[in-house]
């Protein structure tokens, strides 16, 4: 699915460490250890009709800004977590589950290049319901779910941590933690809703 406008905001904020060694921030303070992560999401997602759904995609762009000869390799199994906040800045509760396990392939990123991980997403409105659900495929056989959403403004970000808490780092994988800058987007009201444009 294509969108006329996308918001791409960058940052790699605070790293707790990486396989490249101690943090060495660049002058712009937005990149540490040569890794930059951004989240990509449509600027506006339309509220579906009753019983329907609006499909879209969320991207995690990983940029390797180092000059290392070897690729940086990023593990995607249980290393990414979404954060959704409403217009008041309040974080919405995250629900979800997993029906079986799927291990996604790690993402190698060459020096001075970038790769984007794509997460299929869907905004749904059950028949007779007044609030929506945001459902995101986590690529591991499970889903992330946000319940009781209404039209309005939100911010969305992704957090990356490897190794996940309580686990051992996978050999050859980039080790560290990053949080993308929150991106603002809008869930639009249905065109047939009273008072909508």
The pLDDT of residue 16 is 32
Q: Alpha-carbon distance 59 to 23, whole Å?
A: 25
Mean pLDDT of 87-91: 97
Mean pLDDT estimate for the chain: 84
Per residue in 47-73, pLDDT (tens digit) is 999 999 999 999 999 999 988 888 999
The pLDDT of residue 30 is 35
**% residues pLDDT > 70 (the chain):** 80
- Residues near 33 by beta carbon (within 8 Å), at least 6 away in sequence: 15, 18, 20, 21, 23, 24, 66, 176
As to burial, measured by CB atoms within 10 angstroms (0-12 exposed, 13-18 middle, 19+ buried), residue 193 is exposed
Per residue in 8-54, pLDDT (tens digit) is 333 333 333 333 333 333 333 235 578 999 999 999 999 999 999 99
Q: Alpha-carbon distance 169 to 64, whole Å?
A: 19
The pLDDT of residue 46 is 94
Mean pLDDT of 178-197: 77
The pLDDT of residue 18 is 36
The pLDDT of residue 99 is 86
Does the domain at residues 6-188 carry the CATH identifier 1.10.3210? no
The pLDDT of residue 100 is 87
pLDDT band, very low/low/confident/very high, at 113 (cuts 50, 70, 90): very high
8: β partners: 40
pLDDT band, very low/low/confident/very high, at 191 (cuts 50, 70, 90): low
Three-class secondary structure of residue 81 per DSSP: strand
74: β partners: 107
Q: Alpha-carbon distance 17 to 175, whole Å?
A: 7
Spatial CA neighbour of 131 closest among 43, 191, 46, 50: 50
Strands 183-188 and 44-46, bridge-based pairing:
parallel
pLDDT surpasses 70 at 141: yes
């Amino acid at each position: 699915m294509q969108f006329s406008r996308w918001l791409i905001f960058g940052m790699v904020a605070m790293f707790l460490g990486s396989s490249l060694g101690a943090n060495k921030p660049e002058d712009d303070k937005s990149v540490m250890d040569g890794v930059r992560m951004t989240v990509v999401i449509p600027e506006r997602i339309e509220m579906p009709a009753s019983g329907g759904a609006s499909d879209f995609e969320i991207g995690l762009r990983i940029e390797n800004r180092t000059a290392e000869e070897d690729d940086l390799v990023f593990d995607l199994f249980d290393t990414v977590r979404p954060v959704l906040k409403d217009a008041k800045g309040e974080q919405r509760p995250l629900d979800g589950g997993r029906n079986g396990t799927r291990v996604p392939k790690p993402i190698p990123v060459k020096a001075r290049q970038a790769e984007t991980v794509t997460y299929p997403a869907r905004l749904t409105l059950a028949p007779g319901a007044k609030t929506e659900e945001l459902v995101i495929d986590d690529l591991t056989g499970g889903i992330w779910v946000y319940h009781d959403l209404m039209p309005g403004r939100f911010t969305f970000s992704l957090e990356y941590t490897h190794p996940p808490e309580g686990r051992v780092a996978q050999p050859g994988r980039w080790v560290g933690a990053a949080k993308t800058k929150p991106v603002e987007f809008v869930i639009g009201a249905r065109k047939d809703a009273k008072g909508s444009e």
